[in-house]
């Protein structure tokens, strides 16, 4: 199975390069990039930071960005989108996390641990990074809010991390050393942005395609299926959930998940931030999630990126 996936990803990477040549992306000179900063004691725990230059003393929100493809993905795949956010006044931290193709049993559990490891590391090392998490500072960037943002299956990971951070029942189920360290002094998570994300995989895991991939990602027999309810974002939403933005389109294979979560938020009397784009809009650069065309976010309309950045800035 892994060989088949690796062959697929090789073809996908070739397709992405072809698309990039067709619409080359020019890196703004006003964005400062700090790449491959280690946030833990494992080689895959690396993070890239993107920040507008000359922002010391300013107030900026921080977006913790999780890439798509939990099997063979990489933070560099989201670089164009991270730059788009930084151009709009959002500080971005783009993470690498455990990949299922590396042979990790129950990779999703390890991926959650990576997210909480980064958040705890961020709290400890904020001052060294030139960030202030607890008030204004003339010598650092004051972080006004921390939002989790995930693309595709990274959106599901971000959503689960958000639920776990505020749900004791889920904390017990997903217990790990990284989560325990984080919970000693947790950072307030101000919002979630899920872009083309499978937020309700509980109903998907019995399907043939997800079933084959699920064993690699969630562990043998989905951890004996005891944790399937913990994988459903809808089922674990609560009234004190922070603001959620869902970005989707009529061509998104996870559109039903987006609409289901939207209805669940409405049932909880929460404001629904749903960006849904019809097939006719932006025909050249339509947002598609999942495996057919990955990471096309820098090709979505400027309006979409403007709205995502605005949502994070007002948290």
Is residue 18, in this structure, part of any structural domain at all? no
Is residue 191, in this structure, part of any structural domain at all? yes
3-state per-residue secondary structure call for 240-300: CCCCEEEEEECCCCCHHHHHHHHHHHHHCCCCCEEEEECCCCCHHHCCCCCCCCCCCHHHC
> For residue 95, what are the β-bridge partners?
47, 66
Q: How many domains does the chain have?
A: 1
Is residue 7, in this structure, part of any structural domain at all? no
State the pairing for strand pair 191-195/244-249.
Answer: parallel
Q: Strands of the chain (E only): list them.
A: 31-38, 46-52, 59-66, 91-95, 131-132, 141-151, 191-195, 244-249, 273-277
Per-residue pLDDT of the chain (315 residues; tens, 9 = 90+): 556 656 655 665 565 555 445 444 445 557 889 999 999 888 899 999 999 876 656 889 999 999 988 888 889 888 888 888 898 889 999 999 998 877 666 888 899 999 999 999 999 999 999 999 987 777 888 999 999 999 888 999 999 999 999 999 889 888 999 999 999 999 999 999 998 898 988 777 777 666 666 667 776 666 666 667 788 898 889 888 999 999 988 778 888 999 999 999 999 988 889 988 766 554 544 554 444 334 455 455 677 888 899 999 998
Is residue 276, in this structure, part of any structural domain at all? yes
CATH number of the CATH domain containing 134: 3.40.50.1820
Is residue 34, in this structure, part of any structural domain at all? yes
Q: Structural domain of residue 210, as residue ranges?
A: 28-313
Is residue 66, in this structure, part of any structural domain at all? yes
């Amino acid at each position: 199975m892994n060989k088949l996936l690796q062959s697929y990803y090789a073809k996908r990477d070739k397709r992405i390069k072809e698309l990039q040549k067709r619409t080359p992306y020019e890196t703004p000179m006003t964005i400062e990039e700090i790449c491959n900063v280690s946030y833990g004691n494992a080689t895959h725990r690396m993070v890239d930071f993107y920040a507008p230059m000359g922002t010391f003393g300013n107030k900026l929100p921080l977006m913790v960005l999780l890439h798509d493809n939990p099997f063979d993905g990489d933070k560099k795949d989201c670089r164009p989108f991270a730059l788009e956010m930084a151009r709009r006044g959002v500080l971005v931290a783009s993470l690498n996390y455990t990949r299922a193709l590396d042979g990790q049993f129950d990779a999703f559990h390890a991926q959650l641990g990576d997210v909480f490891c980064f958040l705890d590391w961020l709290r400890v090392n904020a001052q060294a990074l030139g960030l202030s998490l607890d008030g204004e500072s003339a010598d650092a960037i004051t972080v006004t809010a921390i939002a989790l943002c995930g693309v595709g299956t990274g959106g599901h990971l971000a959503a689960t991390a958000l639920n776990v951070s505020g749900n004791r029942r889920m904390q017990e189920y997903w217990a790990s050393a990284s989560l325990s360290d984080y919970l000693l002094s947790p950072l307030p998570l101000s919002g979630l942005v899920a872009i083309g994300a499978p937020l309700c995989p509980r109903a998907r895991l019995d399907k043939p395609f997800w079933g084959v991939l699920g064993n690699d990602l969630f562990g043998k027999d989905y951890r004996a299926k005891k944790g399937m309810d913990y994988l459903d974002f809808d089922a674990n939403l609560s009234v004190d959930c922070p603001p959620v933005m869902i970005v989707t389109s009529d061509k998104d294979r996870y559109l039903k998940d987006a609409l289901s979560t939207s209805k669940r938020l409405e049932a909880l009397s929460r404001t629904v931030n749903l960006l849904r784009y019809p097939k006719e809009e932006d025909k050249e650069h339509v947002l598609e999630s999942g495996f057919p065309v990955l990471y096309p976010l820098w090709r979505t309309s400027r309006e979409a990126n403007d709205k995502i950045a605005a949502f994070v800035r007002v948290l």
